[in-house]
Amino acid sequence: MESEDTKKTQEMKTDLNLLLECLKYQMDNPLSQKEALVTIHSICQQNSDAGVYFREIGGLMFVKNLAKSSEHSMVKEAALYTLGTVAEKNVYCQQTLCTSELFEDLIWFLSNNDSNTNLKRMSVYVILVLVSNNRTGQTLVRETGCFKILSELFRAALSKYELNLSDKNVFQNYQLWSSVCGTLCVCVNNPQNDENQRLCCSLFPHANDWLKNCMMPEIIRPLCSFIGLTLANNTHVQKYFISVGGLDVLCQVLVQLESDSHQTLSSAKLAVVVTKTVDACIADNTTFGEVLSKYHIVSKLLALLLHESLDSAEKFSIILTLGHCTETCEENQYDLFKNNGLPLMIQALTESQNEELNKAATFVLCNCKKITEKLSLSLRECPFDENEAEQLEDINMKEKNIGEYWKKAKDILHRIEQLEREENEEKTQREKDNVSSMNINIQNTLKHLHTNSIGGGPKAEDKDTSQSRKLQSYKSHGFMSKACTKDDQMKTLLKSANPVNACYRESGQSKTLYKANPSCNQNLQEGTFEKKDSVSQSSDHVFKYPNPIVKNRQQQLPVTDPFTLCSDIINKEVINFLSADNCPKIFKYRCSGCIAVGKSLNSRNFSKLLHSCPYQCDRHKVIVEAEDRYKSELRKSLIYNKKILLTPRKRQLLSNEHTTSGGIKERKIRKNFTEEEVNYIFSGVKRMGNHWNAILWSFPFQQGRKSVDLAQKYHKLTKRPKFVAP
């Protein structure tokens, strides 16, 4: 398989070398040059590595010079098309061609009256490729004056509003205009360029005129793409677009397309495109949604949403636009409610499995919560002003079905409140049951140990003190649970006040709730340590910090103290209780490894800390035993060296990798620079300066050359006495 790939690569290189020679020796035959360029385009289109090799052998720069110097229009067109294809397939070729010199040549092609439409279109295509996903290209378009030429073509390429695309000349002009629209789109977007967006503002009046006078899909789609990307995430440009009447024009176009969508499917698809452009205009400033209420856009969007031919992505765009329309504008909210929009949103939530669409529908429902509450109340209790009350009275007289909407709204609110109450009652009851059952288990355990223990009054007092300490710790835990519950309720109120967060962050609710309760955990730990100071000395030996002992202590006495056993049982039950209730775990303050949280620990002092602890928990006991076994085996394996190495020998391994079996380091094979390579270096420095990577890519140096080698050779040559550059 590898041999076949190698063979194909070698054949590709041979073909490119022959085609480049054909271009050089067929300067008087434009047809042969055009065929060679088309073949090079085909090879580079199929294999991205072909473009890299073609650049290495100097073919890319030759084709660039050929497009500039050739007298034949067909050769120029083929050369520009080949350059665009190679740059589109390979980012290194794009960077090599992205120079101010090439942009100036393209400006000359576009501004020259002798250039035909096809040559201008190829020039625009090369600009599009150089600017796409390239901030440097976006800057060069603006600084070299290329943007000005593109703006003139945008205005002048199409002269009449009534297009006859069956005419060949008109169709070629339309293709040029469409290419200019696409190029302007990549000039302002991906990455977003604020300066280019501001420059495109001057084209908005011309775009509005075309939207008013021509309803053809071939015109509306490119214009909507251009307007939407220019407005995206730029409030300054959005305000200017609205000030020149752009949003009103889009609303008029949307109303017309929605009425036509009942007859033709293409009008429905085109209406979705216009809807996305409207959404881009109001997404960052929802106060602009008031403009939409004049044209009853909400009702039009709801009617468009019922169209059966739309897919889930198109419905998502419509619902998201509804969310931005109804976020702050009460007129749009009431329009949604009046046109049976809430049942449609609920239906979208229940029937669709698209997560993004469900979030958008939830966003709309949260926006309409306030207007739903107002409509569920009577007109006396409703906090409308006098004008709004008169409007509602008029609507109530005209529409008999408004009572049904009130009833639906009231049922929805009643259902939401009922679910919240049931959830809070279940949480409170569950916490009470868990705490009461835990108290009973503690008392039974202490009674059982009291009957089996040996000793008199002092130990009984210790047990009573330990019991009171445990109960107090559980009371503090109950306080933490209540605080968490209150924090949960506060989070619910905040979510209802911020519908965007409610719909887009619902999936991470549990994680956010846990992060919002650090104060609960802190109160729990402080309360536990306060209780610790009030315990008698007879029971303190179970929970206090252990006394330091010998590091290499091998054996530990078994724990037979009844109070220690009691604390083990209580500890396990506390952990089971907390894990069942999904609350943060309380640390067992018995082991030094468990309580040394605030100290700066590492692999050495933590091991000493664990070995010095007489009462280790099960987890840390396993860690200590495993570490002791590992160290003992390591000592046995390295005993012949009479030294113990606990860290890997990295330096020795790294030094062995760079040496051969005989101990001699491998050196790079030296290749002397030829006269041609020296000439390449000086000509590259003359044209490109000290950009050694660009020089290395532009000339056919020997294999293995690096940019550092070129720089060192150049400095050595220039430092020679009586040196004259070739």
Looking up tokens 């030829």 gives 674
pLDDT at res. 137? 94
pLDDT at res. 86? 93
Q: Tell me the percentage of the chain whose pLDDT exceeds 90.
A: 36
pLDDT at res. 499? 35
**What angle do the packed helices 369-376 and 330-338 form, to 10 degrees?**
70
Alpha-carbon distance values, 626 to 327, 529, 632 (Å): 61, 32, 10
pLDDT at res. 454? 42
**For 109, phi and psi rounded to 5 degrees?**
-60, -40
Q: 160: helix, coil or strand?
A: coil
Q: Tell me the percentage of the chain whose pLDDT exceeds 70.
A: 67
Looking up tokens 């040394």 gives 596
Q: 513: helix, coil or strand?
A: helix
Residue 531's pLDDT band, with cuts at 50, 70 and 90, is: very low
pLDDT at res. 625? 86
Contacts of 553 (CB under 8 A, 6+ apart): 611
Residue 117's pLDDT band, with cuts at 50, 70 and 90, is: very high
CATH superfamily placement of domain 683-719: Homeodomain-like (1.10.10.60)
What letter would DSSP give residue 615? Answer: S
Q: Return the structure tokens found at 514.
A: 């846990």
Residue 722's pLDDT band, with cuts at 50, 70 and 90, is: low
Amino acid identity, residue 424? Answer: N
Where in the chain are the domains? 202-377+567-585, 683-719
- Where b means 16+ CB within 10 Å and e means fewer, 29-50 reads ebeebbebbebbbebbeeeeeb
Between 307-321, 458-472, 606-620, the lowest mean confidence (pLDDT) is in 458-472
Looking up tokens 């002798």 gives 114
Alpha-carbon distance values, 210 to 25, 160, 171, 264, 281 (Å): 49, 10, 17, 22, 18
Looking up tokens 């532009």 gives 698
Question: How many residues would you count in the chain?
Answer: 726
Residue 436's pLDDT band, with cuts at 50, 70 and 90, is: low
CATH superfamily placement of domain 202-377+567-585: Leucine-rich Repeat Variant (1.25.10.10)
Amino acid identity, residue 226? Answer: F
Higher pLDDT, 545 or 398: 398
pLDDT at res. 278? 94
| 529: pLDDT strictly greater than 70 | no
**For 185, phi and psi rounded to 5 degrees?**
-65, -45
Between 110-124, 190-204, 259-273, 280-294, the lowest mean confidence (pLDDT) is in 280-294
| 69: pLDDT strictly greater than 70 | yes
- Rounded Cα distance between 562 and 150, Å, is 89
Alpha-carbon distance values, 724 to 14, 675, 682, 692, 721 (Å): 37, 14, 11, 21, 9
pLDDT tens digits for 43-53?
Answer: 998 888 899 99
Between 26-30, 480-484, 652-656, the lowest mean confidence (pLDDT) is in 480-484
- Rounded Cα distance between 455 and 562, Å, is 11
**For 105, phi and psi rounded to 5 degrees?**
-65, -40
Mean pLDDT of 285-314: 88
**What angle do the packed helices 355-367 and 312-325 form, to 10 degrees?**
20
Alpha-carbon distance values, 536 to 120, 450, 525, 564 (Å): 94, 18, 20, 15
Q: Which residue, among 123, 134, 124, 125, has the nearest Cα to 98 in the 3D structure?
A: 134
| 37: pLDDT strictly greater than 80 | yes
- Rounded Cα distance between 94 and 125, Å, is 13
Between 378-382, 497-501, 717-721, the lowest mean confidence (pLDDT) is in 497-501
- Rounded Cα distance between 446 and 460, Å, is 10
Between 84-98, 297-311, 516-530, the lowest mean confidence (pLDDT) is in 516-530
Class of residue 356 by CB neighbours under 10 A (exposed 0-12, middle 13-18, buried 19+): middle
- Rounded Cα distance between 589 and 544, Å, is 8
Does 458 sit behind a cis peptide bond, omega within 30 degrees of 0 on the bond before it?
no
pLDDT at res. 724? 53
- Rounded Cα distance between 179 and 182, Å, is 5
Higher pLDDT, 472 or 153: 153
Residue 193's pLDDT band, with cuts at 50, 70 and 90, is: very high
Query: Residue 238 in contact with residue 198, Cβ under 8 Å?
Result: no
- Rounded Cα distance between 79 and 33, Å, is 9
- Rounded Cα distance between 703 and 329, Å, is 67
Higher pLDDT, 159 or 414: 159
Mean pLDDT of 355-363: 89
Alpha-carbon distance values, 233 to 101, 223, 238, 530 (Å): 32, 18, 9, 54
Q: Return the structure tokens found at 503.
A: 């719909």
**For 659, phi and psi rounded to 5 degrees?**
-115, 155
Alpha-carbon distance values, 679 to 55, 157, 669, 682 (Å): 18, 46, 22, 5
Query: Residue 465 in contact with residue 539, Cβ under 8 Å?
Result: yes
Q: Return the structure tokens found at 123.
A: 């020039």
Average pLDDT over the chain, rounded to an integer: 75
pLDDT at res. 255? 94
Q: Return the structure tokens found at 540.
A: 């303190």
Q: Return the structure tokens found at 682.
A: 């000086």
What letter would DSSP give residue 665? Answer: B
**For 95, phi and psi rounded to 5 degrees?**
-65, -35
| 459: pLDDT strictly greater than 70 | no
| 466: pLDDT strictly greater than 60 | no
Contacts of 200 (CB under 8 A, 6+ apart): 184, 187, 188, 226, 230, 237
Q: What is the 3-state secondary structure (H, E, C) of 3-49?
A: HHHHHHHHHHHHHHHHHHHHHHHCCCCHHHHHHHHHHHHHHHHHCHH
Query: Residue 369 in contact with residue 326, Cβ under 8 Å?
Result: no
Residue 385's pLDDT band, with cuts at 50, 70 and 90, is: low
**For 665, phi and psi rounded to 5 degrees?**
-70, 140
pLDDT at res. 108? 94
pLDDT tens digits for 640-672?
Answer: 455 444 555 444 444 444 444 444 556 777 888
Q: What is the 3-state secondary structure (H, E, C) of 497-513?
A: HCHHHHHHCCCCHHHHH
Query: Residue 594 in contact with residue 620, Cβ under 8 Å?
Result: yes
- The whole-model pTM stands at 0.54
Q: List % helix, strand, coil for the chain (3-state, nearest 5).
A: 75, 0, 25
- Rounded Cα distance between 438 and 77, Å, is 85
What letter would DSSP give residue 547? Answer: P
Query: Residue 250 in contact with residue 274, Cβ under 8 Å?
Result: yes
| 250: pLDDT strictly greater than 80 | yes
Q: Return the structure tokens found at 82.
A: 């080949």
Looking up tokens 């907390």 gives 578
Contacts of 55 (CB under 8 A, 6+ apart): 86, 90, 92, 93, 96, 697, 698
Beta bridge partners of 665: 659
- Rounded Cα distance between 169 and 181, Å, is 19
CA atoms within a 13 Å half-sphere pointing along the CA-CB vector of 609: 19
- Rounded Cα distance between 478 and 489, Å, is 17
